[in-house]
Structure 1
Amino acid sequence: MTTTDERDVELHDSLDGQVALVTGANRGIGAEIARRLRDLGATVYAGSRSMANETPDGTERVLLDVTQEGDIEAAVDGIFNEVGRLDVLVNNAGIIGPDGDVVAAPTVETDRTLAVNLRGPMLLCKHAVPLLLQGDGGRVVNVSSGMGALGEGQSGGSAAYRVSKTGLNGLTVYLDGEYGDDGLLANSVCPGWVRTEMGGEDAAKSVEEGAETPVWLCRFRPGAPSGRFWRNRRVVDW
């Protein structure tokens, strides 16, 4: 296991002039990530499944249901037409799905969990990677979970969620392998157990604490580590 941590990474102090797209940005960790990227100077497109949902002040609200490829294509094309660039993609939108094991989980709920948590990020990358590759050091930050790490116990239900996050980590490695030589930086992050609608009020971390490492990954400069899985600004096992 590598011991790479924050001391080994060069960061952008400011994101002035850069553009970010954050999915699931109307609440929880996604909203906090969008807010902090805005405060760092980025133009932030805050994706939400409904235009009726509020997104952080100073961000550009964009209709984005990650299960709908038409929404994804329209959002990315809209960003290109408006600002002509994309520097950061944060695949944050996710659902916990059914809590049972693979035998008990209803198929329709399993399908939706995989569609939101894994198929959605893959389609976002399909449409956004060409924009991210226009400049050196485009970043993809995939909000994953230790529940999807192969090295951690996989028992305890939530089969679809666990498998979707394992797949999301696989997408991260793929992006690094396929596009790393072209300058793309792709990393996964476990924000920890966070007090969100998904995590519940008994979770150990605040939303602000949960957003810290994802935002830090968004600040990586060209040549920074890629293809890794992070928690608390340190690389952890997959």
Structure 2
Amino acid sequence: MNGQQNPALEGRRTALVTGGARGLGAEICRQLAGQGLQVLVAARRREAAEEVCRAIGPAAVPLALDVTSAESVTEAVREALERFGTIDVLVNNAGVSLDGSRTALDLDDGILRATLDTNLVGAWRMAEAVVPGMVRAGYGRLVNVTSGYGSLALMDSGRHPTYRVSKTALNALTRMLAADLAGTGVLVNSADPGWTRTGMGGPAAPRGPELGADTPVWLATLPEGDTTTGGVFAERKPLPW
């Protein structure tokens, strides 16, 4: 990530979206840019992020970032802060679903570790790297992209066990961070986009990315003075979990 900030974008808040190079993440980036934010499109492959940025325009900047690597997270956040000074919004969108039709009695250690490393630990790494700067600034919006599959209240199947457990744990992380950050101006919430037509959701999903991105973007742009924090939301409404 080279060069200086576009003068036309000075004064805008800056959002970092992980997994921003395709599907839901790319749409979240597009909508945030449309609402006037400077957006860091973060992806493991910079070339993929660059393609999304070309489609969005000058409000989007590519950022190479692998949430499963602590070194990559540290370096990417350092680059972003050197260029923009602050990261005001973090959307932890990067995620994987690897266990297919497996059940809770069919554990694969490798799949479990890989799923948790991206869906839970990756989001945790990002929060650890970004939130201290938000606290110093007295403003921040952290959105963890979750799933209804992580709801204990709606847990009616043992299918996709590692994915479900990872999202349940991500919701717990949301609640813990929100409690730790109470009164700092940093709001932390989870957003369930619903079953969305993406590479993960598949072509049969009933919702397009535009609708799937609505709740994450809403939470990422809660106005100053709002106190909504520690919640899990779907379609902008609290989700039992």
Taking structure 2 as the reference length, the TM-score comes to: 0.89
Code of the residue aligned with 1:56 in structure 2: it is C
> In the alignment, is residue 226 of structure 1 matched against residue 221 of structure 2?
no
> In the alignment, is residue 130 of structure 1 matched against residue 127 of structure 2?
no
Question: 1:116: which partner in 2?
Answer: 118
Give the paired residue count. 224
Shift, 1:154, TM fit: 4.5
Residue 207 of structure 1, aligned match among 191, 206, 209:
209
Which region of structure 1 is more displaced relative to structure 2, 100-109 or 171-180? 100-109
> In the alignment, is residue 176 of structure 1 matched against residue 167 of structure 2?
no
Shift, 1:134, TM fit: 2.6
8 Å contact from structure 1 (residues 16, 40) kept in 2: no
Deviating above 4 A after TM superposition, structure 1's stretches of 4 or more consecutive aligned residues are none
Question: 1:235: which partner in 2?
Answer: 238
Larger relative contact order, structure 1 or 2 (CA cutoff 8 Å, min sep 6): 1
Question: 1:76: which partner in 2?
Answer: 77
8 Å contact from structure 1 (residues 192, 210) kept in 2: yes
Question: 1:17: which partner in 2?
Answer: 12
Shift, 1:235, TM fit: 1.2
Code of the residue aligned with 2:76 in structure 1: it is A
Shift, 1:143, TM fit: 0.3
Q: Percent identity?
A: 39
SS at match of 2:137: coil
Question: 1:55: which partner in 2?
Answer: 52
Q: After superposition, what is the alpha-carbon deviation per residue over 1:129-165, rounded to whole angstroms, capped at 9, x for unaligned?
A: 1122232330000000011011112424111100000
Question: 1:45: which partner in 2?
Answer: 40
Q: Which runs of 5+ in 1 are unaligned?
A: 1-14
Shift, 1:55, TM fit: 2.4
Code of the residue aligned with 1:82 in structure 2: it is R
8 Å contact from structure 1 (residues 151, 237) kept in 2: yes
SS at match of 1:134: helix
> Root-mean-square deviation (CA), in Å?
1.4
Shift, 1:38, TM fit: 1.1
Q: Using a 3 Å threshold, how does the CA distance of structure 1 residues 154 and 119 change in structure 2: closer, same or farther?
A: farther
Taking structure 1 as the reference length, the TM-score comes to: 0.90
Distance 1:71 1:215 in 2: 25
Shift, 1:124, TM fit: 0.3
